[in-house]
Every structure is written in C-alpha cells, then in structure tokens.
Amino acid sequence: MAAISTIRNLGPASEASFAKAGLTTAEELYALGAHEAYRRLLAAGQPPHFIGYYVLVMALQGRPWNDCKGAEKAALRAKFDALKAEVEAAAYAAPPGAKTLPRPLDQALRAIGVIPA
C-alpha cells in the first residue's frame, strides 16, 4: 500500500487531512475517485477550497495541478459547488420528526432584521 504523498501534487499536508477523514493510502483515493474522496474530507471537517478540489482531480489523473484551465476548470467548479452544497445540506439535515433549528447565519440575519423572523 502506497502513501498518499506518493501521488503527484499531494504531500504531507494532504496526507494528514485525508488521514483525519479515514483515508490513509493512495489506493483508497484512486478507488474512491476525487469527488468522493473530497466529500469525505468535507464531512470530516476540512473547510472547502476549490483549488484543493481540482488539485486532487488533477493528481488522480497524474497531471500537474495547474493543468486545469478553461471549460474543464469551469465544469469542475460546478461539481465542487454542488458537492459543497450537498455536504452542507447533509450537515444541517435532521432525522424525520425532529425539531430543526435555523442555520446560524439565518439566526444572525433574523436578529438584525435582514430576513423575516
């Protein structure tokens, strides 16, 4: 089993982040693919960062991190934004029948009168 840092573009910091998400080998990343691996990073508390997302995509394709440009980069941005929204929505999802609380931002906006109470 190869270390994550053996993948082009991914170093010790990436390896540490993936370890927090329960991923410790290059083989696990390749098997999951960039999108699912990044989902696990977000679910583990890693702040979303578009550059990190497309660097991972490029890394798993064996390409330089800065090879992502134009239409390909725009398409990856759309996938990243959808993933980020999906993970955020799941974080605020409540079990059926449970009383839900508004998101912290909504609470703050209501408190200052930006959105109705």
The string of pLDDT tens digits covering residues 62-80 is 999 999 999 999 999 999 9
Residue 79 neighbours by CB under 8 Å, 6+ apart: 35, 53
Q: Name the burial class of residue 6, with classes exposed (0-12), middle (13-18) and buried (19+) by CB atoms within 10 angstroms of its CB.
A: exposed
Q: What is the pTM of this model?
A: 0.77
Would the pLDDT of 105 be above 90?
A: no
Mean pLDDT of the chain: 89
> Could you confirm whether domain 4-111 is CATH 4.10.490.10?
no
The sign of the CA dihedral 83, 87, 92, 95 is: positive
